[in-house]
Chains A and B, each alone.
Chain A
Amino acid sequence: MSGSSNIVAMKKIVQQLRFEANINRVKVSQAAAELQQFCIQNALQDPLLTGVSSSTNPFRTQKVCSFL
């Protein structure tokens, strides 16, 4: 009984491996170049990279100044 369920499980493993073996793979150098380009292109719009100025920082408690 457990023998046949082992065979079923093994069949699934082989099927999955066949699927994964068949994919197309891109060269790491190309993948790296595209990832770098994405990071660099978006760097200026990344507030944690560029820093957030105190006047536009929504998490800084705003102190109100008034002229007396």
Chain B
Amino acid sequence: MGEMEQMKKEAEALKTQIEAARKAVHDTDMASAAAGVAPAPQVQLKTRKTLKGHLAKIYAMHWSTDNRLMVSASQDGKLLIWDSHSGNKVNAVPLKSSWVMTCAYAPSGNLVASGGLDNMCTVYNLKTPVIKTVKELDAHTGYLSCARFLSDTEILTSSGDTTCALWDLETGKQKTVFLNHVGDCMCLSLSPDMNSFVSGACDSLAKLWDVRDGQCKQTFQGHTSDINAISFIPSGNAIITGSDDCTCKMYDIRADQEVICYQDAALNSGVTSLALSTSGRLIFAGYDDFNCNIWDSLKGEKVGVLSGHDNRVSCTGVPEDGMCVCTGSWDSFLKIWN
């Protein structure tokens, strides 16, 4: 038998082995296991603020760790920094390329980053008298879909070139490249302990990576289309994904499999974004149908909806203190709800 044939056989055998191992621990699923848990209350949140200022579709938003400031990115070519309590704009950062797809706030509050169809991640210092570009991270060969700071010296990016990368912000170079996806990487989420992260891609897979050694540790299957959104549950033991297949899924990391699917026959729009409440019980998922649906993460039931945008909800975010949820939309507005 040729070497290629032999390896193909081994690959098939390993896939069968993995499926069998997953089945062996599948003694229940999340919804059945949660039968005894009291249902989450029906959640009715009101719009407390509508942030107006962008002149075109909003593609991304990210909260600062101070629970008050947030950054949003729009294809009007600007990043806006907002004071969510007053609704005022604190800063405007003009972008070299208006085709922005992501933005991020550093945990320190000193830096923000943006990126998109320019294939670059640009980092800005907010604390200098005039906002300065401090680095242009240029090595991806595809669009920048997501960026997240680990600190003021390291940032993680995901790209349409199918890779993710960890960058050193002092040298501007990639320290580690994460290779394994076979489709555009669309989103990433850092684990609470920052030792690992998960990525979602157009190959309909989610992957768990070790931040330091670049190893892909686990692969989660089940979606039938692009995964556009991904987030760790605050406990760090499970992840939620949102996909163009109109469903969200929870994958448990230690059981290495899908444990619940959040879907509704009436929902036939793709999921664009998602965020979790601080206990992990509520999932806020933004859809192409202009709504943000609220799911009970344990029971798999829809418990509320945020309606109010006049176009696709493209981004959602809950600040660290969990006091509200922010939705951003192609209608150019951001809304704060609680």
Task: Determine which of A26, A33, A34 lies in contact with B235 in the assembled complex, contact meaning CB atoms within 8 Å.
Answer: A34
Q: B76 contacts the other chain (Cβ, under 8 Å)?
A: no
With A10-B8, A14-B10 in contact, do A32 and B28 touch (Cβ < 8 Å)? yes
With A13-B11, A42-B278, A52-B338 in contact, do A20 and B255 touch (Cβ < 8 Å)? no
Query: Across the interface, which residues of A come within 8 angstroms of B22, CB to CB?
Result: 25
Residue of B nearest to A41 (CB): B279
Q: A63 contacts the other chain (Cβ, under 8 Å)?
A: no
What does the 1/0 interface line of B214-255 toward A look like (CB < 8 Å)?
Answer: 011111000000000000011101100000000000001011
Give the CA-CA distance A47 to B25 in the complex, in Å.
34
Query: Across the interface, which residues of B come within 8 angstroms of A14, CB to CB?
Result: 7, 10-11, 14
B277 and A25 contacting across the interface, CB-CB below 8 Å: no
What does the 1/0 interface line of B7-33 toward A look like (CB < 8 Å)?
Answer: 110110011011001101111111001
16 more A-B residue pairs beyond the given contacts A31-B254, A31-B259, A57-B48, with a C-beta to C-beta distance below 8 A: A10-B8, A13-B7, A17-B11, A18-B14, A19-B217, A20-B218, A26-B255, A27-B27, A28-B33, A29-B33, A31-B252, A32-B33, A32-B259, A39-B279, A42-B278, A48-B277
* Chain B residues near A (Cβ < 8 Å): 3-4, 7-8, 10-11, 14-15, 17-18, 21-22, 24-30, 33-34, 37, 40-41, 43, 45, 48-49, 68, 84-85, 180, 215-219, 233-235, 237-238, 252, 254-257, 259, 277-282, 297-298, 318, 321-325, 336, 338
* Chain A residues near B (Cβ < 8 Å): 6-7, 10-11, 13-14, 16-21, 23, 25-29, 31-36, 38-43, 45-49, 52, 57-60
With A20-B18, A48-B325, A52-B323 in contact, do A28 and B279 touch (Cβ < 8 Å)? no
- Dominant SS at the B interface? loop
Q: List 23 A-B contacts (CB under 8 A).
A: A14-B10, A14-B14, A17-B11, A19-B216, A21-B14, A21-B18, A21-B21, A27-B27, A28-B33, A31-B254, A32-B34, A35-B252, A36-B37, A38-B233, A38-B234, A39-B280, A39-B281, A42-B234, A46-B282, A48-B45, A48-B322, A49-B279, A59-B336
With A17-B11, A58-B323 in contact, do A25 and B255 touch (Cβ < 8 Å)? yes
Give the CA-CA distance A35 to B202 in the complex, in Å.
28
Query: Across the interface, which residues of B come within 8 angstroms of A43, CB to CB?
Result: 279, 281
Q: Nearest chain B CB to A29's CB is how many angstroms away? A: 5
Residue of B nearest to A24 (CB): B254
Query: Across the interface, which residues of B come within 8 angstroms of A13, CB to CB?
Result: 7, 11
Query: Across the interface, which residues of A come within 8 angstroms of B252, CB to CB?
Result: 26, 28, 31-32, 35
B279 and A25 contacting across the interface, CB-CB below 8 Å: no
Query: Across the interface, which residues of A come within 8 angstroms of B282, CB to CB?
Result: 46, 48-49
Give the CA-CA distance A48 to B26 in the complex, in Å.
32
Give the CA-CA distance A50 to B175 in the complex, in Å.
43
Give the CA-CA distance A19 to B27 in the complex, in Å.
24
